[in-house]
Amino acid sequence: MKSQSEGSTDKPIAYLVDTVINGKEFVYLSTFAPKDDWSVVTPLYTSTDIESAEKKANPGLLEMIRRKSWRIWWHLWTGDHSLYATRRRIEHDARRFGGIVLWDDSQ
């Protein structure tokens, strides 16, 4: 395995992809970075990065319950299936009335 400093100049060996397809969130490992604008792609270099990504992509039972309960709450509160669906709805409404939406995700 390459170290973080060695791998930072080379091509990553894997990518963690977090995306929404038809209102459902998917997290998976990929050997290539998808070009989807709605995907959050994290390049992975070391074995510890890949192990933590595998844990995120294949969560345990408690994590799955937590995620599903959060999605149910979000759907009841907003009427949308995910944060991405809410963003798309807001962007669509803004464009329909000639507005522009800019998101600041730097938290």
Which three-class secondary structure state does DSSP give residue 32? coil
- Kindly report the average pLDDT of the chain as a whole number: 79
What Å distances lie between residue 63 and 66, 68, 84, 92, CA to CA?
5, 9, 20, 32
List, edge to edge, every strand of the sheet that includes 24-30: 24-30, 14-21, 40-44
Same-domain pairing of 36 and 52: yes
Residue 75 maps to a domain = yes
Are 74 and 51 part of one and the same domain? Answer: no
Would the pTM count as exceeding 0.85? no
User: Residues 51, 9: one domain?
Assistant: yes
User: Helix (H, G, I), strand (E, B), or coil: what is residue 107?
Assistant: coil
For 23-43, the pLDDT digits (tens) are 777 888 888 877 777 788 888
Residue 43 lies in a domain: yes
Token match 């345990």: residue?
60
Domain count, the chain: 2
- Are 26 and 38 in a shared domain? yes
- Are residues 10 and 41 both part of a single domain? yes
Q: What is the pLDDT of residue 10?
A: 67
Partners of residue 21 on adjacent β-strands: 24
Domain assignment of residue 64, given as a range: 59-102
CA distance 56 to 41: 13
Same domain, 47 and 70: no
